Amino acid sequence: MGQADARILKPEAKPEPIRDAATVVVLRHDAGGARVLMGQRGAAAVFMPSKYVFPGGGVDPSDRAAPRTGLISPTCAERLLRHPTGADPEPDALATAALRELAEETGLHLTETPEPPLRFIFRAITPPGRSRRFDARFFLIDAARIAGDPDDFTDASDELGHLHWIGLTEARALDLPFITEVVLAEVAATLNGAPDLGTPFFDNSGPVPTFRRL
């Protein structure tokens, strides 16, 4: 190969690393029916700009270093440990990240009660080729566990705009990421009495997309 040919060839792009993440689906039951809390990502965001999403984000070192306990049931913890893909966070670290992200992005906090407030309901790994890739675990929280006014977002960061509660059917008319639509359908099925067949997992960690039950 000559020097001219060598200059033409470009080095292969490194695969985008997969970052562990935790997302919170807060479900509210009141006179407005069953509603979830959603917000809109900024138009300039690198990942999923302008999309409506649930509060959530990447697991921080602090979540791993000092995780809270008692946030999830033993069943949820066991499911979170299934199908590891590397240096996966401990279940308590994922639950801690979920509540930290909820507090940062919405300003909402939970009351302290003996029962675990988080339920592990979904897992999805972002497919290759995206600007960011996450191994996201979705947790369901009953809005009755929120301390104070659930409509008070004055302490929220500016990461999500248009924070509001919206019905499950109405939410699907928003500009949503595909996986958010799937999670909404899963929540609706649960509310309609669907049996627990295991936590759904859209696994895009390998060359072939795989659907699993954890």
User: Predicted confidence band at 185 (pLDDT cuts at 50, 70, 90)?
Assistant: very high
Tokens of 38: 């959603």
User: Predicted confidence band at 113 (pLDDT cuts at 50, 70, 90)?
Assistant: confident
Query: Which residues face 21 on adjacent strands?
Result: 58, 136
| Residue from 58, 56, 77, 64 nearest 18 by CA | 58
Answer yes or no: is pLDDT of 114 > 80: yes
DSSP 8-state code for residue 113? -
Tell me how far CA of residue 120 lies from CA of 15, 22, 23, 79, in angstroms: 28, 10, 10, 8
- What distance in Å separates the CA atoms of residue 212 and residue 201, rounded to the nearest whole number? 5
Give the pLDDT of residue 44: 56
Give the dihedral of Cα atoms 169, 150, 68, 201; nearest 10 deg.
Answer: 0
Domain boundaries, the chain: 16-213
User: Predicted confidence band at 28 (pLDDT cuts at 50, 70, 90)?
Assistant: very high
Most confident of 17-21, 34-38, 47-51: 34-38
Give the pLDDT of residue 121: 97
Classify burial at 7, counting beta carbons within 10 Å of its beta carbon; exposed 0-12, middle 13-18, buried 19 or more: exposed
Give the pLDDT of residue 64: 95
CATH topology of domain 16-213: Nucleoside Triphosphate Pyrophosphohydrolase (3.90.79)
- What distance in Å separates the CA atoms of residue 49 and residue 43, rounded to the nearest whole number? 5
Residue 83 backbone class (left: φ over 0; alpha: ψ -120 to 50; beta: rest): left
pLDDT tens string 37-49: 999 986 555 556 6
